[in-house]
Structure 1
Amino acid sequence: MECAAKGSAGAGPCAPGRPSRRCGLCGAVAYCSPSHQMLHWNDHRDECARLQEQMRMADTLNDFPFTFSEEASLLRSGEQMTRCSLFMSKGLHQRGLWTSECSCGPTLASIGGLGIMNDWNLPSSLCPCTDPKNPISTPLSSWKDYYKWRSLPFHSPVALLLHWPLTIYHCLQLSFARNSSSEVSGKLHIHYLGPEKELLQLAVFGELRALFPGLQLYIEIVGPAVPQCRDGETICISNYAHCSEESCHCRSSERTNAVMLRLRKGYYHDRYTDIVKQDSNPHLIVAPNAGVAAYSSWLPTIELIKEMGVPAIFTDFCEEAAFLASRCISSVTGRPLSLPIQINPFRQPMAVEDSALYLPCYSNCFIFGM
């Protein structure tokens, strides 16, 4: 957390230490001193009321059915619980798929083992390591629905990783609802833009096999964080991530329907021509935690998506980031969002540490689309 006035003209250096003087109206921004707060008011006044409304969403956004939700929500203060201590308390710290979930884990620069980690390090009763008992009867609309369908207890922490495939599932449901005439028969092509942490958690995308039985899924994973040495590599996920029980048949069984992931290093607008040479046009583009307003490299990609006419759904960590992204997208397309900003029911149920604002902030928290 930094002083909101840092870098402002005439502000001067910030006082040492974590800024503790929060705006008395919105409570979303903090300052290192009264003078910096006064100096920043001309910039902050236009956003203050909007941030105040967003702060009121905190209780709604932390409304999860999990028994660990109260612990996870404490991460926002950073005083009583950290990601490391939460995973340590569950015996998952730096183990298997959980390795990259806290700041002491490996960086993307050291992912030579990309796609190798395939273990939940949980007993079979706590993770989805085998086929579901029953097919989905009605579309899943919440974590509660998913856990009930997968026969998982609410103390299972797997939602902390499964927000990646469940967000894709929800994006597809939204896309199908918007375009009821769209037909997908046999094969489903998704272009997935800007991966980062999930590159170390690719095994969880195997859950898409259960969510879309009978479909062959092809996902192009495109972004600058993809290692150069893995550019163009195809990864076939034909099984679920394993539980910790050696006798479980999840370690020996394979299914015919697989999720095919192809890795592409670079920006989507630079790699699109290469992709379509080998791949049919996508049914959907998904950009998780995109940060559209923060990176100018998104502008040519948005231009390309506009020309393609393919549904594209973005997510971001907080509502303000989604709001700023919507303005950026509209400035490029000349029209409002086709999918307005809304809460993602499958956001990660763990607050983000060290966010720039005091706003409620979760991975894949808000969804919006063009």
Structure 2
Amino acid sequence: MVMQESRCSMLSSKGLHQIGLWKPECSCGSSIPMDELLYDDWTLPSSLCPCHEPRSQLSSCLSCWDDYYQWRHLPLHSPVALLLHWPLTVYHCFQVLSAHSSISKVKAELNIHYLGPEKELLQLGVFRELLALFPGVQIYLNLVGPAVPQFRDGETVSLCKYLPCAEESCICKSLYPDSVAEGSNHRNATIRIRLHKGFYHDRYRTIIKDSYPHLIIAPNAGVAAYSSWLPTVELIKGMGIPAIFTDFCEEAANLAANCISSVTGQPLRLPIQINPFRQPMVVEDSVLYLPCYSNCFLFGM
């Protein structure tokens, strides 16, 4: 029997164990305080990470990790997919919906309500890759969930350049500052992230005053496991906004689909399907006797 390499050993082999953004990726980092902001850089050489503009614009939709790595000119042994499944899942959700919804008409501005963030709160820097995935689009990303610490409620993070590499001489260090003054010509778009503590159904009235969503995304939601999702599902049904949920395995996705349909009285708008941009390493601490991957299956209402 071939034993799968553990996350700790894989990260250690690449010099990333318990370092920066990589800290939350194994159980050793399970108690990282939420005031420890980990979005400084990739801790990787430029050859192994997307630290600057793509060499070419996307000519077609990305459909898998291999497509992404080729487009960003990265070797397949680069570990960045372990972190980039967050923004690539956002990208894939948009692409899936744009095939049969008015969301495809979004051009200059994209408002996303992102529900139930946990680990992402320590890895906000990886969402900088949305600059490449949605070129020229101003993205507003509202992260809403009970895991947001009280002292970060209302916090805003504006990102206008790519997550830098570890090389001091790389061009990514000198292209432009990470905060752009009003009227600057450095970039015509940024990623603006705002954090909100609490359940979506309790906070949405305040949030939509500034940002009415084009799309709602709930990663690794566990809808069937937490009754607190039911009033949120009821709210989303009334809003009529397309919403996509992800979960760790197909069984959890099926249970979630049944819960959603029991609330809405309708079948899923988007049937359960594998997310091609799921995190490529199995979850090690799962209580299920099933292979589980972060953002593995997605489905929508």
TM-score scaled by length of structure 2: 0.93
Q: Report what 1:8 is aligned to.
A: none
2:105 is paired with a residue whose SS is: coil
Alpha-carbon distance in 1 for matches of 2:45, 2:104: 40
1:278 is paired with a residue whose SS is: coil
Q: Report what 2:242 is aligned to.
A: 311
Q: Report what 2:35 is aligned to.
A: 112
Aligned 8 A contact 1:186 1:215 in 2: yes
Q: Report what 1:82 is aligned to.
A: 6
Q: Report what 1:138 is aligned to.
A: 60
1:207 to 129, 149, 153: 129
Q: Report what 1:295 is aligned to.
A: 226
Q: Report what 2:277 is aligned to.
A: 346
Q: Report what 2:194 is aligned to.
A: 262
1:218 is paired with a residue whose SS is: strand
Confirm or deny that 1:247 pairs with 2:178. Answer: no
Residue ranges of structure 2 left out of the alignment (5+ in a row):
177-186
Confirm or deny that 1:356 pairs with 2:287. Answer: yes
1:327 to 258, 269, 272: 258
Cα offset, 1:327, TM superposition: 0.2
1:247 is paired with a residue whose SS is: coil
Alpha-carbon distance in 2 for matches of 1:242, 1:182: 30
Aligned 8 A contact 2:103 2:214 in 1: no
**Equivalent residues in 2 for 1:1-370, closer than 5 Å:** 81-107=5-31, 110-114=33-37, 116-180=38-102, 182-254=104-176, 255-279=187-211, 281-370=212-301
Moved more, 233-242 or 187-196: 233-242
Whichever residue aligns with residue 305 of structure 1, its letter is I
2:202 is paired with a residue whose SS is: helix
Alpha-carbon distance in 2 for matches of 1:246, 1:182: 39
Alpha-carbon distance in 1 for matches of 2:126, 2:2: 27
Whichever residue aligns with residue 92 of structure 1, its letter is L
Alpha-carbon distance in 2 for matches of 1:161, 1:97: 8
Cα offset, 1:253, TM superposition: 2.2
Of structures 1 and 2, the larger Rg is shown by 1
Aligned 8 A contact 1:100 1:106 in 2: yes
Alpha-carbon distance in 2 for matches of 1:214, 1:341: 31
Aligned 8 A contact 1:78 1:353 in 2: no
Aligned residues: 291
Change (3 A) 1:226 1:181: closer
Whichever residue aligns with residue 62 of structure 2, its letter is L
Whichever residue aligns with residue 82 of structure 2, its letter is L
Superposition RMSD on alpha carbons, in Å?
1.5
Cα offset, 1:106, TM superposition: 4.9
2:99 is paired with a residue whose SS is: helix
Alpha-carbon distance in 2 for matches of 1:243, 1:251: 8
1:341 is paired with a residue whose SS is: strand
Aligned 8 A contact 2:130 2:191 in 1: yes
Moved more, 99-108 or 265-274: 99-108
Alpha-carbon distance in 1 for matches of 2:110, 2:226: 29
Q: Report what 2:179 is aligned to.
A: none
Alpha-carbon distance in 1 for matches of 2:298, 2:47: 31
